[in-house]
Amino acid sequence: MIYTIEKVNLIAEQLRRFTTGYAFHVTGHFANIDFWLNEVQAALGAIEGHKIRLNNLRDAFTEWEEKHGEVLSEYCSICGGRCELGAVKVSPPKRKWAAELNGARKELVDSTYYFLARCYRMGLLNDNTLKQKCDLIGTSIDPNDLE
């Protein structure tokens, strides 16, 4: 699992716990709502920047091979260098996590939204503040969730 997905899943799980917790727990976590929304925005930014970071990694990989005129091989855990026993050419990184990143993003936004909706139903947020916070995470409000 890649770091970005693990980070997103961890934050989403925390917010899911807050949503289903006792009212006094929700109130306590609501006191730190700005912190949690910053965490969510940072995680969403990490998802958005994943492709750029992957491209940078791939470009550096290719540049190394071109500059040094050598093929990168697997790391040898025994000698700490290029493995002589099984010199296998390592392929540049490929983007293979798109579906997982999209799924993690959806889970994060949903978890955050349901926490905000719970806070609204408890009277911790008013209409305007709820809308502002939902705008921060890029989601709309379903009036049915607020009853």
Does residue 11 carry a pLDDT above 90?
yes
The pLDDT assigned to 121 comes to 95
DSSP codes joined into one string, 3-31 = HHHHHHHHHHHHHHHHHHS-HHHHHHHHT
The pLDDT assigned to 93 comes to 63
Residue 137 CB burial class (10 angstroms; 0-12, 13-18, ≥19): middle
Chain mean pLDDT for the chain: 86
What pLDDT, in 10s, does the model give residues 63-94? 877 787 666 666 666 666 666 665 556 666 66
The model's pTM: 0.79
Q: Tokens at residue 52, please?
A: 């750029």
Reference 30, options 131, 144, 135, 130; nearest CA is 130
The pLDDT assigned to 34 comes to 95
